[in-house]
Chains A and B, each alone.
Chain A
Amino acid sequence: MKRWIAGLVVVAALAAAAVFGMRMMAQPPEELDLARDKPSANQLYRVSIQPELDPPAIGTLHNWIVTVLLSDGEPVVDAKISVAGGMPQHGHGLPTAPQVTKQLGEGRYLVEGVRFNMGGWWELKFTIDASAGSDNVTFNLTF
């Protein structure tokens, strides 16, 4: 009986391992929303992103422009924006810590220091703090 239970535990562990093992090679979910223009989570802002290089070259440090508007289309100036991200299927973040370094006017902000060091599904997350309140938005990117 004991041996039987031990065998079952091994089988369960192997099954779990097989699933875990597939994480690294997993394809991005089929229904992934790849929009580069979308409302923030609580609909406070309309946010769009544009890379300096399109598509960004893997391994190259580059910039993005993020544009923040109110839902009526009014540009949001003087927003405090922080940037994060990573690979949900790999459990690691971005290889750099990108920052908003400049306001470019009309709700546009320069994001410097972005690098994607491998192909696959990446998330780029922005937390936006401005007069309408604090909100966040997550973009999916695949390379």
Chain B
Amino acid sequence: MQAIAQLRLSQLAPLKPDPSNRFADDPAAAALGEALFFDTRLSRDGTVACATCHLPDRQFQDDLPRGHGIGVSDRRTMPLAGVAHGQWFFWDGRSDSPWAQALTPIEDPREHGFTRAAVAAVIAEAYREQYEAVFGPVPDVEVHGASPLGNEEEQAAWKALGPEEQEAVNIVFANAGKALAAFQRTIAHEETRFDRYAEAIVSGREPVAGDAFNSLEIEGLKLFIGKAGCINCHNGPRFTDDFFHNTGVLTPEGLPVNRGRIDAIDEVLADPFNCLGKYSDASPDDCRELRFIARDDAALVGAFKTPSLRGAASRAPYMHAGQFSTLGEVIDHYSTAPAAPVGTSEIGPVAFTDRGRAALIAFLKTLD
């Protein structure tokens, strides 16, 4: 019963303040962030916004194996509900805050393909008043296509800017991320039939008619918290431990083998937009996740973040690169537990009967 009780949405603690983003809970910042989220001007060809892959009517994801922006990314687009409760962002956790995360796709040539100087220009032109009300003056940046991460031309333009202008652009860029993060903090999980059922049985009440589980769903729940061991990693009210595990998912054809978390550790530590960086509002003591980051565990080789299972049944495909197109294929993977393409898989095979398989899927559907 304790295992079921911990999974209820009511057990989700209120969102903690983000010390690295002092605008995280500022409604004006969130309103600006929402506008930026849907703005396709923040892309190289004017066609890509955050909402291109994070579709609001599809749980802020896109139902595709890998995100399609200007090109095709290497990773499955993540849904956004409740993400601010986690500690690490992206499938490998290469960002340590939602605002640092939000900056990366903007400059990724396969996603927005934009530059930070151009972001500053769009904000100066289209959002001056809204931005200045929250963050203060917008600098005038003459050069648009300039970024330390861009193509050769953009990198040269970045160097030509000089340190003061670079700094001014970085501040606007970081603030754009903070506004986007403030908006994303407003995207919350919604109560599901599972939550209503669990609330009833935990408090010893009979679930009301529409919420009661049938025998298959009950069997699925029992498997989930018992023999199948799903709850090991998919624990707590968000059905995730917010950490990284190698589950032996194969690398999709055409993509290089990816070492996941182990390679992201140096990246997040070197990110100028991390909690310890100069654009963060946190004191170093507040950056506890970075201070105590696990660095050398062999289990982190080939490890990817445990996704939340809330709403998962209606958002195929699954895994970090959309390797599986149905929940049946996911369960097949856990029942065979193949060797990992890199590192060592943590999972061992679980024998499912046909009914057990159906039961687990029936249970997952109650989380929609």
Additional 14 contacts, C-beta under 8 A, given A23-B348, A91-B346, A92-B245 = A17-B348, A21-B348, A21-B350, A24-B229, A58-B235, A59-B235, A61-B292, A92-B297, A92-B299, A93-B297, A95-B294, A97-B292, A112-B292, A118-B232
A61 adjacent to B344 (CB under 8 Å) = no
The 7 closest A-B CB pairs, nearest first, are A113-B292, A92-B299, A21-B348, A117-B241, A93-B297, A20-B348, A96-B292
Cβ of A96 to closest chain B Cβ, rounded Å: 4
- Please name all residues of chain B whose beta carbon is closer than 8 Å to the beta carbon of A98 when the two chains form the complex: 292
* Given A21-B351, A24-B346, A91-B346: A97 touches B295 (CB 8 Å cut-off): yes
A140 vs B349: C-alpha distance when bound (angstroms)? 26
A94 vs B348: C-alpha distance when bound (angstroms)? 20
A113 adjacent to B291 (CB under 8 Å) = yes
- Please name all residues of chain A whose beta carbon is closer than 8 Å to the beta carbon of B228 when the two chains form the complex: 25
A112 vs B293: C-alpha distance when bound (angstroms)? 12
Which residues 92-112 of A sit at the B interface, judged by CB distance below 8 A? 92-99, 112
Q: Could you list 18 examples of A-B contacts with CB < 8 Å?
A: A21-B348, A22-B348, A25-B229, A58-B241, A61-B289, A91-B344, A91-B346, A93-B297, A96-B293, A97-B295, A99-B292, A112-B288, A117-B242, A118-B231, A118-B232, A118-B235, A119-B232, A119-B235
- Please name all residues of chain A whose beta carbon is closer than 8 Å to the beta carbon of B28 when the two chains form the complex: none
- Please name all residues of chain B whose beta carbon is closer than 8 Å to the beta carbon of A90 when the two chains form the complex: 232, 346
Count of inter-chain pairs, beta carbons less than 8 A: 84
Taking the complex as formed, is A18 at the interface, i.e. its CB lies under 8 A from any CB of chain B? yes
- Please name all residues of chain A whose beta carbon is closer than 8 Å to the beta carbon of B289 when the two chains form the complex: 61, 96
Cβ of A34 to closest chain B Cβ, rounded Å: 18
B348 adjacent to A92 (CB under 8 Å) = no
Taking the complex as formed, is A120 at the interface, i.e. its CB lies under 8 A from any CB of chain B? yes
Taking the complex as formed, is B99 at the interface, i.e. its CB lies under 8 A from any CB of chain A? no
- Please name all residues of chain A whose beta carbon is closer than 8 Å to the beta carbon of B236 when the two chains form the complex: 58-59
A94 vs B3: C-alpha distance when bound (angstroms)? 21
Interface size on B, residues (CB 8 A): 32
Contact of A93 among B227, B241, B299, B347 (CB under 8 A): B299
Taking the complex as formed, is B51 at the interface, i.e. its CB lies under 8 A from any CB of chain A? no
A24 vs B235: C-alpha distance when bound (angstroms)? 14
A95 adjacent to B349 (CB under 8 Å) = no
B294 adjacent to A94 (CB under 8 Å) = yes
A18 vs B337: C-alpha distance when bound (angstroms)? 11
Contact with A along B349-361 (1 / 0, CB 8 A): 1110000000000
Q: Which residues of B contact A (CB under 8 A)?
A: 3, 6, 226-229, 231-233, 235-236, 241-243, 245, 288-289, 291-295, 297, 299, 337, 344, 346-351
Cβ of B355 to closest chain A Cβ, rounded Å: 18
Most buried by B among A18, A99, A119: A119
A24 vs B245: C-alpha distance when bound (angstroms)? 13
Cβ of A8 to closest chain B Cβ, rounded Å: 19
- Please name all residues of chain A whose beta carbon is closer than 8 Å to the beta carbon of B348 when the two chains form the complex: 17, 20-24
A92 adjacent to B346 (CB under 8 Å) = yes
Q: Which residues of A contact B (CB under 8 A)?
A: 17-18, 20-25, 58-59, 61, 86, 90-99, 112-113, 117-120
A61 adjacent to B227 (CB under 8 Å) = no
Cβ of A25 to closest chain B Cβ, rounded Å: 5
Cβ of B239 to closest chain A Cβ, rounded Å: 12
- Please name all residues of chain A whose beta carbon is closer than 8 Å to the beta carbon of B351 when the two chains form the complex: 18, 21
A97 adjacent to B293 (CB under 8 Å) = yes
- Please name all residues of chain B whose beta carbon is closer than 8 Å to the beta carbon of A86 when the two chains form the complex: 297
- Please name all residues of chain B whose beta carbon is closer than 8 Å to the beta carbon of A61 when the two chains form the complex: 288-289, 292
B232 adjacent to A24 (CB under 8 Å) = yes
Contact of B227 among A25, A58, A91, A119 (CB under 8 A): A25
A117 vs B349: C-alpha distance when bound (angstroms)? 22
